[in-house]
Each structure stands twice: as structure tokens, then as C-alpha cells.
Structure 1
Amino acid sequence: MSSEPDDPEVAARMRRAHTVACGFLGAVLDARPGGVTQEAWGWRGRTLGRPVTGPYGPAWLRVVRSPVGRTSGKLWMGPEDAEQLVPQQVPRPCLRLVRQWTKGEEAYKAELYDLVVDGTLSSTPVLAAPPRLTTAWWDGLRKALDHLSAVRTDRTAVRRAYLDRAMPKYLAFLGSGVPTTPPAWSTAHGDLHWANLAGPELGILDWEGWGTAPAGYDAALLHAYSLTMPETAERVRRELSTGLDSDAGRFAELVVITELLQSAERGDNLELVPALRRRAEEVWHRMTADGVAGR
């Protein structure tokens, strides 16, 4: 999740769209005591989610905005594709209803989900405090990622052309020879961070960007977002060692670090940058020792 957009007109437009969506889907906005409504914003105000009561009971109503000409891409269709193709062994809120409309040059989509009662483990992708998670939660996450990795899809979360272009640029501080060819590919959630994970009962939210990625990508991303909390990062490495402790997993870590260093140029998650660079050096040292460099 992100903060409310800086542009007040964008925020007002999305709140109006959310009200329209409530009318379309027969939902009523829920407010906390004192009349304050919970809001979850996507990147730069692209999405807005709020708790509602709908035709199926307590729910979460999310509104997505896109230019009219860009409504056929993977982000627009991701949740609906996941509802059809991702098996039930991957725990996530059920997508109940979808409604689309346009207003001027903007297209909107309303998505009504079952409410995740426990809520997410963090309000932001980067942890503010260590989560308290059970062995069962971690076991469930491992199984969910295993089931997801086997899903067959033509959706793409990470493109090979991006790796060839971005990895040499953002990992230049490691020197030459950093590989850009993944040892293996598998299907990934593509945005597995702490604000997209629920607990204490496991739930995986936000299925916009799922698709094929370098094997180990989800584990590597969750680990990267944990680096400001060393004990949590160690727990991720231990619990998700199958995805991380291999040539494929180490390569996936470099992919994720590349992406996050690039996003930091736009001002995102700047607090992660020193830890990301240190981790890249650690991973590259291990890859070099294992003879991966230059393959």
C-alpha cells in the first residue's frame, strides 16, 4: 500500500469513483468509530480500497483507474485472471463482483472481495515492526508459493528484456560479469511484500501483477523488503530457504535488488537502499565463490 496521492484532485476523483462503485455493486461504506473510513491507496493513487458491506456481507471494495486505452494489460486483468487460474490452495480473498465504466478519458474498475478480517501484516511494503508469525503461517506460505509456481500462464511478471537492460545498470557497483539469464522461470505473485500478506491467518492480496518470473522471485522480494529488520530477514531466509538457497534463488535476489534500486530513483523505499546494496554484495560474493559468474 501507498500513501494518499499528493494531488488532491486525484484523491477526490478516486473517492468519487469509489462512491459510484458502491452504487453499482449495492455496497455501503463502513466507517470506524468516529466516522473515519479506512483507506488503502495504490501507487500514486491508481487504486483505492475501502471496507464495505455488500451483497455477500463484509467486503473490501477496490477501485482501479486507468487511461481508457490501457485496459487490456496484465495489471487491469490480473485479479480476474487469478480468480480463474490460481488454485484454491493459494489462500486469497474471493473476488465476488466486477464492474467497469468510463468517465471522459479514464476507465474505472470496481472489484468486490471478501473481507480479510485479520488485516495485513504491515501498512507499507517495508516493515515498521517485526511480525509475530506462527510455524503454521510459514508452512502455509511455502505451500502456497509451491502451488503458485506450478500454474501455467502466458502472463509475465518480469520480462527477460528488462533483465538484460536493467541489471548491468543498477548492479554496476558489483563489477562486470553479473549474469542476466535466469537459471529457471516459474509463476510468481510478483508483489509479495508485507502489505500484501495477511495474518495471523495467511492470506495473499493484490493479484494485479502475477505471472512468470525468475524462480525464487517471491521469496527474494519478501526477503528484500525485510532487510531493515535483520531478525525478520533471517527468518525469511530460513523459512523460504528452498526458494532462496540455490543458484536460481540468488539470481532472483539480484533481480529484486535491481528493481528496488531503480524504484528508489523515483523516491520509493529509500530506507532500503543501503541494505539492498550490502545484500547484493553478499549474494554476488556467494555466486562468485560458487562459480556462477560468467556462466
Structure 2
Amino acid sequence: MSLSVPTGGAVDLRVEPVDEVLAFVERSLQTCLDPNTVVRKRRSVGARTDRDTWVRIERRQIGKIGDQGWNGTEQAARVTDVAQPSWRGCVVWHDAEDSVMWRADETGLLPAEPIGTAVLSEAPELSDDWWWRFNASLDALAAHGTNRVATPDTETITQSLVTRSIRSVWPGDLDTTVEQWVPAHADLNWANMTAPVFCLFDWEDWGNAPRGLDSASLWACSLAVPALADRVRRERRADFAGRDGKLMTLFACSKILGPDAHPQDPRRGPARRMAEEIVQELRVG
């Protein structure tokens, strides 16, 4: 089935027409989407339904869908003791005129509003109870068992990817070997959590990853607000203390300091300072 989004090249669903996509999803899931609630992101669109649920629609290149598929939200429904929306059902289809797949997952509504954009420039108001539930959910997730492999930014995380990313910024003989792999959300940022009630959503990329990936990712998203970045490190200190946590911090910093990063990113200074400290620690250790 071919819908209205143009084929070929990069597609940004924030600007492309998606009316036909939304109409197809409505027919398939037998519901109506509220146009006043539509949220458009680069590769996904979401909206509230007339039965008080939420539908998230994603477009993904077939080459970005590995052997494990891309049913992360569905598979995450098996994870217990993690605050997340309940999964209700889905529809998946192949665009006949392009090398892409579409997927629409229907879930329960979020218990509160998303905290903000992925990267924050101001500190949010988060209670001690919020941080407790945040920690409890991440700890429960890491204790879960799965055969899935995390796909941050839709790229399967491997030892090779970790090494390549780190050495793209810090070349040399630094040992980048990961020791412990545990389940991670793999897209942990401030746009995928709610407050004042904690809830973690957008589970399409979760799976096994080096311990500390989620904590380092959220820390990197907080660097423009030093007090918030420090709070993340305090709350997840067990993740950051070990060798894997240090490697994941470098992995996160490589996205800020690498050749494709924005030169005016306000996080570059603190990321560089932390990275220099960690590189020294790893080389000495």
C-alpha cells in the first residue's frame, strides 16, 4: 500500500502530509483520531483516539528493521514493574512504492504530560517521589530478561558500534570492551517521560545494551542544565561508577562532540570536560 508521503531520501513527518496515513490507521484500528491532539515528530506521528487511547505511528526504512523486527512497544508489555502505558494492539503495513514499513501501536493514555523536548534548557520540577519511581523503573528494566538488542537511533548497538563511536572522537588504544549487557529503553530523554506522575514511553528501540546506556543518554540530554545533569549522575551513580558506565558516558559524549554534531551545541563544553576526565581514568585504570 502506498500513501501520500513521498518516496526516496530522508522524510521528516513534521512537515510531510500525513492525512492519508492517519485515515488508513483510523480504518484499520476502527477508531477516530482527534486532530487537535496530533503530535508530529521526525519519524513518528501520534494522536488521541475517541476511546481514550493513544496511537503512535512510525515510518521506518526496511534496512533499519533487523531480524528481531520492530515490535518494541508490543514486547515491552511483558516487562513488569516499569511505569509505562498499557499496550492494546497494532497495525503494520509495507509501502508498496518505497522501501519502508509503517507501524501504528495503540496504547493507554499517559498519566501526565511529557516533561519537555528531548534536550532541556531549563530544569523541570521533579519531586523526590518522581525520582524514586524513575529509579525503580530503570532498575526493574535492567533486571528483566530479553533476547532483544537495543537500537538507539534505529541502529543496533554492538561492541563494534561502541568502539567505532568512541574512537571517532578519541582515537588510539583505549580499551572499549563492554563487560555487562542489560535491558535498556535506548531512547531515554526528557521527551519520553512524564511528570508530575512518572511514566516512560516510546519503547520501539528497547533491548539489551551496555549497562549505563540509559543513564548516560539522559545525562547528556541534561548538560545544558548543570544541576539537572548532576542530579541524574547522583540518582544513577551505580550505573556511572563502573567501567561500562564510563564507556557509555563517552558513547553519549561522542554524539555531542563527533564530526556530525552541531558546533553551537551548548552541551559541548561540559561534555568535553567530562570526557577528558573519563578517558584519563580509563587509561590509568
TM-score, normalised with respect to structure 2: 0.84
1:55-102 Cα shifts (integer Å, max 9, x gaps):
xxx221111123457655556221122123x22x11111111101233
Match of 1:3 in 2: none
Matched, 1:205 2:204: no
Residue 115 (str. 1) matches residue 115 (str. 2): no
Contact 2:56 2:104 in 1 (8 A): yes
Query: Which residue matches 1:27?
Result: 31
Say yes or no: does 1:215 pair with 2:215. no
What residue is the counterpart of 2:227 in the other structure? Answer: 231
State how many pairs are aligned: 269
Deviation at 1:185, TM superposition (A): 1.9
Describe the superposition over 1:19-75 as per-residue Cα deviations: whole angstroms up to 9, x where unpaired: 21122212222254xxxx44131xxx3211122223xxx221111123457655556
**Superimposed CA distance per residue, residues 212-260 of structure 1 (whole angstroms, 9 cap, x where no aligned partner):** 1111111111111101100101111111112112333222211222244
Task: Show structure 1 runs of 5+ residues with no match.
Answer: 1-5
**Any idea what the Cα deviations from partners look like across 1:264-293, whole Å, max 9, x if unmatched?**
7165993433332222113223444xx32x
Letter paired with 2:224:
T
Pick aligned residue for 2:45 from 43, 48, 52: 48
Change (3 A) 1:239 1:29: same
Q: Deviations over 1:186-210 (max 9, x none)?
A: 1111111111111111111111111
Correspondence 1:32-111 to 2 at 5 A: 32=36, 37-41=37-41, 45-54=42-51, 58-67=52-61, 71=65, 73-74=67-68, 76-84=70-78, 86-87=79-80, 89-104=81-96, 105=98, 106-111=100-105
**Equivalences for residues 276-295 of structure 1 within 5 A:** 276-288=271-283, 291-292=284-285
| Aligned-partner Cα distance in 2 for 1:102–1:183 | 38
Pair 1:67–1:232, CA change in 2 (3 A): closer
The aligned runs of 1:104-183 (5 Å cut-off) are 104=96, 105=98, 106-122=100-116, 124-157=117-150, 158-172=157-171, 176-183=172-179
Q: For 2:233 and 2:269, locate their aligned partners in 1 and report how far apart those are by CA, in whole Å.
A: 19
AA at the equivalent of 1:273:
R
TM-score by length of 1: 0.81
SS of 1:154 mapped into structure 2: coil
Please tell me whether the aligned partners of residues 91 and 203 of structure 1 are also in contact (alpha carbons under 8 angstroms): yes
What is the rounded CA distance, in whole Å, between the counterparts of 2:40 and 2:134 in structure 1? 23
- C-alpha RMSD of matched pairs (Å): 2.7
Instruction: For 1:209 and 1:269, locate their aligned partners in 2 and report how far apart those are by CA, in whole Å.
Output: 28
Q: How far apart, CA to CA, are the structure 2 residues paired with 1:285 and 1:128?
A: 29
Cα shift at 1:129: 1.7
Instruction: Give me the whole-angstrom Cα distance separating, in 1, the residues matched to 2:163 and 2:13.
Output: 38
Match of 1:265 among 238, 260, 270: 260
Distance 1:272 1:248 in 2: 22
Distance 2:181 2:189 in 1: 20
111 and 180 in structure 1: CA distance in 2 versus 1, 3 angstrom threshold: same
How much identity, in percent, do the aligned residues show? 28
Equivalent AA in structure 2 for residue 276 of structure 1: A
Aligned to 1:18: 22
